Structure 1
Amino acid sequence: MTQLPPVLYRGSVKNVRGVVSAQDLLFEFSDRFSVFDWGEMPDALDEKGKTLAVMGKSFFKHLGNPASWENLFQSQALINNFDHDYLETLSHSYLYKKLKTFGLFHHALLEEREIELNSPYLKVKNISVLRPPMVEEKYDYSVYATKPVNALVPLEVIFRLGLPPGNSLSKRLGSDLAKWETYGFSEVPQMGLLKKPVIDFSTKLERGDRYIDYKEAMAISHMNEAEFNELREMTALIALNLFKFHAEMGLTLLDGKIEVAFIQDIHGKRSFMLVDSIGIDELRLLYKGKSFSKEFLREFYKKSSWYDCLETAKRDANIYGGDFKSLCQEKYQSTPLPLDEYTKMRAEAVYKSYANEVSKRINGVAVFGEEFNLNEYSMRYM
């Protein structure tokens, strides 16, 4: 691009450029990475920003294309793994027919010719972010009672297609069948793939994300029952589309997370569009039964004394208040160390390999070196 607009917001992994009143903004994906909500870590990963932008542009193109939805329920990957009656019902839904006709609505402006596929930039529609203020030690979500449109839904929407060891849902619900029943289960599920997607929610705009049940998710977002059901169904359809897509790559998608915004449809009622981005940071994937993600970065840091201090600082912050990062740095005098050379090279390779595989399927071209692919990565690092 000839000239970049000013930085409006600097996040842990991307910058948002533009002005508040503009119709569109520019995502600038950086080479920074973050684990455990720390924010920017000591290392930068070579071309990571470009890989995330390639993933985002590719998935918005894929999900926005009606053709990607056309034969979804004829996929053997779905037929072999999910409940037949569930798939049959979903295949006749109004929302699925709408996706086959129009594709998925999203905020990416992919027709922008000035932004090349291999750049770290993504142009998007500007949406409002209505942050709830803290009132008497509680977040006040009353701004959402006005039924805003073109505004971020204050939820992180999580889909679960499988339950891997250590997953947060099983930890939270344990063996309490009554809790599992609220997610549509008639018995406590075992580890492995589920027979239908489970949709879960956490807060998005609070100081710390926390998991919430359906009742609270509806309450804080001020959605009515029809809107909430549409959001869950849309998320399930996205999950199944992405499961099929990854199965055709030789990957198994276990879970993921998305962000959505309220929009107004052609009939004047509220609906949803996909926002933010989708990439390997938002998805939990397996390749030949082994984790294919940045999980090894978390494991690298879990072995450090910094991680122990971080967990203690988070507990302190929950009990006494304050910022856990400041507590970790000041009270416990601890910050993360840089990665060793092998781990850094592996991190760069996982992003480039995945971006190449996704781009080849959607755009017909690999953006990074030919050595970055699933088979080469698995032989070298898995």
Structure 2
Amino acid sequence: MTSVKEFRVEEAATADELGTGAFVFTDDYSVFDWGKMPDSIPNKGASLCAMGAANFEALEAEGIPTHYRGVVANSGEVVPLDETAAPPREMAIDLTRVPDLPHEGREYDYTAFHEEAGENYLIPLEIVFRNTVPVGSSLRSRADPADFGLDFEAWPDEPIDLPEPVVEFSTKYEESDRYLTRDNADYIAGEADVDDLEEVAREVNDIVTEKAAEAGLKHEDGKIECLYFDGEIRVADVVGTFDENRFSYEGQQLSKEVVRQYHKRTQPEWVDAVEAAKARAKDEDIADWRELCAVDPEPLDDHVVDAVRDMYTAGTNAYLDRELFSAPPLSEAVETVRNL
């Protein structure tokens, strides 16, 4: 289903009922929409599973519906996160339906998608919320600081706090994600109302921001995905992890952005080739830009893999306020990635 987690179906969803299944988190990673990279990061999958579970349980405690059912313990039993002694790698979830999204080139037929979807489907949107504009944020290329009431002529080379959180909508199932106008997002959402999606995103943002602050982290931005079932929006996929969201600690990124920026510095030929392939695909109306990319990424050096592993595990320990992983103190892990 994704490049970093596997998907197990136990009972398939129908037009009228949710199914059951699980996410199985791997140690794979992806940057720049490449998909599975040529190496992996130990304990990354368990980190994402634990953080995601903690956040889903926090959302449920606040009355926000989700597809989460618990984590899978070594015994195979589905339990709350605090009942596991070892870092979990499987998350039990309710399943909805994901209809095919027909397309010719880069023209996608959402009418056909929703004709099949009915009232039980994964909404084909990502709802993005931003509290800051970090270095590397795509917002910098799509808007000016003045658009948000900021007194800068150009974006400074440092993270900038926004006066109020900003919510945006982007596509989920297209080969190259694109940001949408509100009207386009409302159309693509189908039966789900775009105003309701924004409200849920803002509630999720508030909860993750508060949990991060308790751990000494700053929550900069993130996204959610949602399903629609029987007239109700439920938060789906995984929420508030170091892959879905950007966090920082004492000014240092603590998220997958560390790996993105490292590749920009050390493998610029590959990063440039990716951007060129995406641009060519857009110009030539080709859906899969990867077939146009002439350069492949190289594996990370061992010391980089170790540093990123410690970033994920130490960050998760701090976020959970629990020594779930054997990891250095967060300050030590952050200083290591700061010096990469």
The TM-score normalised by the length of structure 2 is 0.84
SS of 1:110 mapped into structure 2: strand
Question: Distance in 1 between the 2:329 and 2:283 partners?
Answer: 46
Match of 2:23 in 1: 27
Question: Distance in 2 between the 1:325 and 1:111 partners?
Answer: 34
Match of 2:3 in 1: 12
Measure how far apart 1:112 and its partner are. Answer: 5.8
Moved more, 153-162 or 284-293: 284-293
Match of 2:81 in 1: none
Measure how far apart 1:280 and its partner are. Answer: 0.7
Q: Is the 8 A contact 1:160 1:198 kept in 2?
A: yes
**Match for 2:270: what amino acid?**
W
Inter-CA distance 296–135: structure 2 relative to 1 (3 Å threshold): closer
Match of 2:324 in 1: 367
Matched, 1:306 2:250: no
Measure how far apart 1:19 and its partner are. Answer: 5.3
Match of 1:247 in 2: 213
**Match for 2:167: what amino acid?**
I
Give 1:1-382 correspondences, 5 Å limit: 9=1, 11-18=2-9, 21=12, 23-66=19-62, 103-110=63-70, 114-115=77-78, 116=84, 118-134=87-103, 138-142=107-111, 143-144=113-114, 148-174=118-144, 180=147, 187=149, 192-223=160-191, 227-264=193-230, 270-278=231-239, 279-302=241-264, 303-304=266-267, 305-320=269-284, 321=286, 323-328=288-293, 332=294, 334-360=295-321, 365-369=322-326, 371-382=327-338
SS of 1:44 mapped into structure 2: coil
Measure how far apart 1:166 and its partner are. Answer: 4.4
SS of 1:257 mapped into structure 2: strand
Moved more, 143-152 or 212-221: 143-152
Identity, in percent, stands at 31
Question: Distance in 2 between the 1:139 and 1:130 partners?
Answer: 13
Structure 2 unmatched runs, 5+: 14-18, 79-83
1:108-154 C-alpha deviation (Å, 9 max, x unpaired)? 11176625462210110011112321158621111426873331111
Larger radius of gyration: 1
Question: Distance in 2 between the 1:128 and 1:372 partners?
Answer: 41
SS of 2:61 mapped into structure 1: coil
Inter-CA distance 372–188: structure 2 relative to 1 (3 Å threshold): same
Question: Distance in 1 between the 2:207 and 2:272 partners?
Answer: 39
Return the structure number with greater helix share. Answer: 1
Inter-CA distance 170–301: structure 2 relative to 1 (3 Å threshold): closer
Question: Distance in 2 between the 1:112 and 1:273 partners?
Answer: 21
Structure 1 unmatched runs, 5+: 1-8, 67-102, 265-269
Kindly tell me the number of residue pairs found equivalent between the two proteins: 313
SS of 2:69 mapped into structure 1: coil
Measure how far apart 1:373 and its partner are. Answer: 3.4
Measure how far apart 1:219 and its partner are. Answer: 1.6
